[in-house]
């Protein structure tokens, strides 16, 4: 008979979304540093080539950040804080290829909103916020449709999120 404690738990959708909010704050600081360096190097010039370069730097810095974190320890700082880890069954660590696929597929959280805003000319904060909120809700719903409660990008990449146990509290030795 299998012990129920040996079953690896999947974090709740709510816990994963809260972790993503925390991740957003950390990620903004990483991207802000990258954008500062890019703008410094390009002397804050404005041309189509430089604008496309800025977008490429944004995308590539995100890729390096997430692929390195998922492929190394299996979690980012926010995921570690919320005791969530990315794993790939049968692998000691998540292969960089699987981490890259996960990163690319995770753009499903935001890419439909970006495309909709561009296609329909939505520029106001309310329109953009609504598009992003609908996109996030739709992508989060993919976990509710999955039997293992995994997001679509994890299913496609062959990865899964697991809950890590709470760390054992250290008992202080009594002074003699």
What would the pLDDT profile of 119-129 be if each residue is shown by its tens digit? 999 999 999 99
- Domain of 25? 8-163
Residue 58 lies in a domain: yes
Cβ-in-10-Å burial (0-12, 13-18, 19+) of 84 comes to buried
**In the predicted model, what is the mean pLDDT of the chain?**
93
% of residues, the chain, pLDDT over 90: 88
Residue 13 lies in a domain: yes
Distance CA 13, CA 149 (A): 8
The distance in angstroms from the start CA to the end CA of the chain is 45
% of residues, the chain, pLDDT over 70: 94
Residue 132 lies in a domain: yes
Query: Where are any strands of DSSP class E within the chain?
Result: 84-87, 160-163
pLDDT band at 90 (very low <50, low <70, confident <90, very high): very high
Query: Which of helix, strand or coil describes residue 51?
Result: helix
Q: Does the structure show a pLDDT above 60 at 96?
A: yes
Give the chain's domain count: 1
- 128-161, pLDDT tens digit by residue? 999 999 999 999 999 999 999 999 999 999 999 9
Report residue 73: phi and psi, to 5°.
Answer: -85, -15
pTM of the model: 0.86
Residue 176 lies in a domain: no
Residue 70 lies in a domain: yes
Residue 1 lies in a domain: no
Q: List for the chain the helix, strand, coil content (%; round to 5).
A: 65, 5, 30
Residue 174 lies in a domain: no
Residue 84 lies in a domain: yes
The pLDDT of residue 174: 62
């Amino acid at each position: 008979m299998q012990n129920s404690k040996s079953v690896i738990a999947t974090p709740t959708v709510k816990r994963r979304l809260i972790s993503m909010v925390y991740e957003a704050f950390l990620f903004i600081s990483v991207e802000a540093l990258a954008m500062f360096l890019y703008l410094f190097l390009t002397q804050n010039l404005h041309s189509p080539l430089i604008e496309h370069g800025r977008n490429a730097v944004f995308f590539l810095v995100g890729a390096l950040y997430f692929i390195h974190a998922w492929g190394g320890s299996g979690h980012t700082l926010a995921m570690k804080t919320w005791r969530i880890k990315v794993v790939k069954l049968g692998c000691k660590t998540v292969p960089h290829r699987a981490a890259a696929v996960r990163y690319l597929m995770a753009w499903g959280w935001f890419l439909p909103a970006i495309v909709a805003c561009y296609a329909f000319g939505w520029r106001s904060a309310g329109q953009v916020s609504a598009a992003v909120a609908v996109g996030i809700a739709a992508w989060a719903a993919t976990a509710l449709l999955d039997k293992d409660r995994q997001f679509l990008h994890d299913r496609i990449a062959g990865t899964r999120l697991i809950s890590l146990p709470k760390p054992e509290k250290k008992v202080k030795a009594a002074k003699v």
